Structure 1
């Protein structure tokens, strides 16, 4: 058994393949009862020795028996509202002050868990001599439902998920030294919704000095985030679906009823040609002062070291296997393009996407458009803005395509995860990774994994096993392409950026 005496209390963990591992460590008080839809509160600690040998419950979420056709599932029972815990992997609970990597899972704001085996911190800890922390936080209705200012304690705001993450980050700062970590060298990394969380955290005044660097994997920065007023419309729809008229009644419902209503909200909010997001962060001016895409351009956050990247065909994850999109015709896709570019420019934009991908059909054009406007172009805009400063970013694009489903997924959203973690044995359930050439797969995983480790340790992803990776700077726009051959290219995605610059000049 592994033992640690931390400020909140003593913990008994396990040794796993040479690492000390502590699971289901509570960082906040249970957000249950009257504390549902309240800001996270620090955990009061415990007496005696707490067992930390097994994972605790994940945040409540929808669950498909048998999994989904891309990831094979993204959250497993048990689920419970009392879920605000974290897992820790460390080479030794000593005074070595190792760099710390904090992982925030994604999942469209409605799914996922920090304790999923595919998000195990073991490979990063073992290979990089890092202390790795993976967190659970409130998702779906429990984390993102805006209940209105009258229901909130003064100054608490809307984004309870973000208060969870900030509380976890403060817990890491205050306690990680007992696990062999350096509280002055914390890298926060996240993918998809977790990357949005990471950027939001970095921009909070309360986080100043807590985060040294961030890794933003496929952040959907193109999401149009609502104001509190707009959020209340969605809250009203959710309450109707839940069959209640007051917040008191909603607070009294068991959490499975909330998950059921979430399914209904998916149906009401899904729009053809858009990524479904029944719940979104709320720009409330209190917990979230600005869009997370802008967070790393302001104040102390402007100096945080940043790695950012996307996959070449992000949107294929959600659309390539959906027959409603496979049969799309050019007129409908052009109409969707008009939402972004206006009706006059839409035919020309459609033609530009056709030229960019030889043999592209209407569904391909649509997926490339969604990839650009939701992921690639907003990430490039952040890189462009930082390139004007003394704090540029390291940018990458993941290009290796999936083999499954006759290659229809391409280099889809989430495919880079097992490469960064270098733990394909934990992804055997995911159709997304099936059939990859083991030699190519493992070679690329080594390169990416070591780059993530190098960045977490030094703020520079370069290591001897890869070509020179320069920051994304004005004039060069260097972007690392992760494929069967790893190559640093200048202005790799510039065509997408220039095409979408048209929208900046279009009247609202």
Structure 2
């Protein structure tokens, strides 16, 4: 290991790296953890990177995973992935206070994005604040998304390698971190994996995976959509057939001959084909293939292999507003439309009664508000509470929170929407200046809440307990008090904060 004012050299087992010194941190970017998944390795399980000789430059971000891209961005996040894109994207970034022998706790961040967007090198996901404020080593990863990460073809030839190529990428990245992170000042025996949305599904899948046993000490699950019904092989192959038709290919071999741009374009067509009114669009999903994934990730967290893992789980109060509140079609939803949608979940005879219950819970609610609260409950809040309940009943550690601070952006229509907690947890609003959904927040309220959340995340990574002197006492969730931390302009620990939703939706498994 050697240093200069601007650069730092490290010698992990994978090979020598030259990183940059940024704001007092040593930062290493675009470090490959797996072989490029190109050519015949497209839609194959990730293979460990063989390493390199000489000094590899790690001072600049590498390409992000191929994905749909609109230069004008979007009205909520302002965009969630930007060029360059390339299939050769299986890399990770590392932030460390120093590549020494200090054996600091390690935080591995897995980005979300509906399984179709995102990048570990997005400015908002910079590990700098966690590394600097918490004396942590932080790793963010890129992995295959969209059709390249989530298409499933069944057995190819005589070998059934399964699907979920995204998951094989993440397992390879986790193994790389385990084997190399000590050279960056990290402790390979104190790894916390954290993710949001689709990244939280990934985090849960890793926590319960046989190939990850012993690699993960803790997990942070931010807004996991555990209410998604994940298809089995036969159901997914129907989706694959529709995709093949859109791509103009008859089989996987023909798809391998197409440029990735054509594959992303066909994925956009699958969006349209799989949309249903009142449901979050998910053209690509994990597949319970019996090879790489044997059960719903929420269920995996209840199995013996994940019993000793510390778990923090939370959601935002109005998750679904992210995807629906700014859509004029949904804003004009009628009572009859929403009642019909409720009937798909609860059955026709009680649909009107359930609608009325949602109205009582939000005085003055429009039909669109009822719909968004229903989707939030189905997809995020109720499955998260069920997981907390089940782990609590088994005597396993779990901490629960709800993010409640609404944004005034877009005349307040977003509320406390999906993704809104991200810049608060990272406490790096300067890296989110492109995001419209933060407009109008009171800086004093914003910064105070961010400090409280950020320090809680750091405390959890370091010790498995999110409590710190700057916040009210946060007790673990149990089935007696059901303590849930409410992150708002005033931070408060409340009993059974999601009780109305929990009781309305009744008992069931976390993945129900």
Fold match (TM-score > 0.5):
yes
Give the Cα separation in 1 of the matches to 2:41 and 2:101: 36
Q: Which residue is equivalent to 2:285?
A: 280
Equivalences for 1:476-495 in 2 at 5 Å? 476-495=481-500
Per the alignment, in what secondary structure is the counterpart of residue 214 of structure 2?
coil
Q: Which residue is equivalent to 1:38?
A: 44
Q: How many positions carry a matched residue from both structures?
A: 504
Equivalences for 1:214-293 in 2 at 5 Å? 214-293=219-298
The alpha carbon displacement at 1:503 in A equals 7.7
The alpha carbon displacement at 1:286 in A equals 1.3
Q: Are the equivalent residues in 1 in contact too, given 2:33–2:172 (CA < 8 A)?
A: yes
Give the Cα separation in 1 of the matches to 2:252 and 2:378: 36
Q: Which residue is equivalent to 2:337?
A: 332
Greater shift, 310-319 or 281-290, is seen at: 281-290
Matched, 1:427 2:432: yes
Q: Are the equivalent residues in 2 in contact too, given 1:86–1:133 (CA < 8 A)?
A: yes
Give the Cα separation in 1 of the matches to 2:508 and 2:385: 15
1:432-451 Cα offsets, whole Å, 9 max, x none, are 11110000000000000000
Q: Are the equivalent residues in 1 in contact too, given 2:154–2:160 (CA < 8 A)?
A: no
Choose from 355, 365, 389 the match for 1:384: 389
Matched, 1:93 2:99: yes
Per the alignment, in what secondary structure is the counterpart of residue 412 of structure 1?
coil
Give the Cα separation in 1 of the matches to 2:307 and 2:20: 39
Gaps of 5+ in 2: 1-6
Matched, 1:453 2:458: yes
Give the Cα separation in 2 of the matches to 1:388 and 1:8: 43
1:66-110 Cα offsets, whole Å, 9 max, x none, are 101100000000000000000000000000000000000000000
Matched, 1:14 2:13: no
Equivalences for 1:64-463 in 2 at 5 Å? 64-150=70-156, 154-463=159-468
Give the Cα separation in 2 of the matches to 1:131 and 1:154: 38
Q: Are the equivalent residues in 2 in contact too, given 1:401–1:411 (CA < 8 A)?
A: yes
Give the Cα separation in 1 of the matches to 2:159 and 2:109: 30
Q: Which residue is equivalent to 2:3?
A: none
The alpha carbon displacement at 1:502 in A equals 7.0
Give the Cα separation in 2 of the matches to 1:158 and 1:475: 41
Gaps of 5+ in 1: none
Give the Cα separation in 1 of the matches to 2:222 and 2:87: 27
Give the Cα separation in 2 of the matches to 1:104 and 1:121: 12
Per the alignment, in what secondary structure is the counterpart of residue 98 of structure 2?
coil
Per the alignment, in what secondary structure is the counterpart of residue 195 of structure 2?
strand
Per the alignment, in what secondary structure is the counterpart of residue 310 of structure 1?
strand
Q: Are the equivalent residues in 2 in contact too, given 1:392–1:473 (CA < 8 A)?
A: no
Give the Cα separation in 2 of the matches to 1:192 and 1:384: 20
The alpha carbon displacement at 1:392 in A equals 3.0
The alpha carbon displacement at 1:147 in A equals 1.5
CA RMSD of aligned residues (A): 1.0
1:267-319 Cα offsets, whole Å, 9 max, x none, are 00010000000000001111111101111110220220000000000000000
Give the Cα separation in 2 of the matches to 1:392 and 1:137: 29
The alpha carbon displacement at 1:154 in A equals 2.8
Give the Cα separation in 1 of the matches to 2:294 and 2:99: 37
Give the Cα separation in 2 of the matches to 1:154 and 1:21: 40
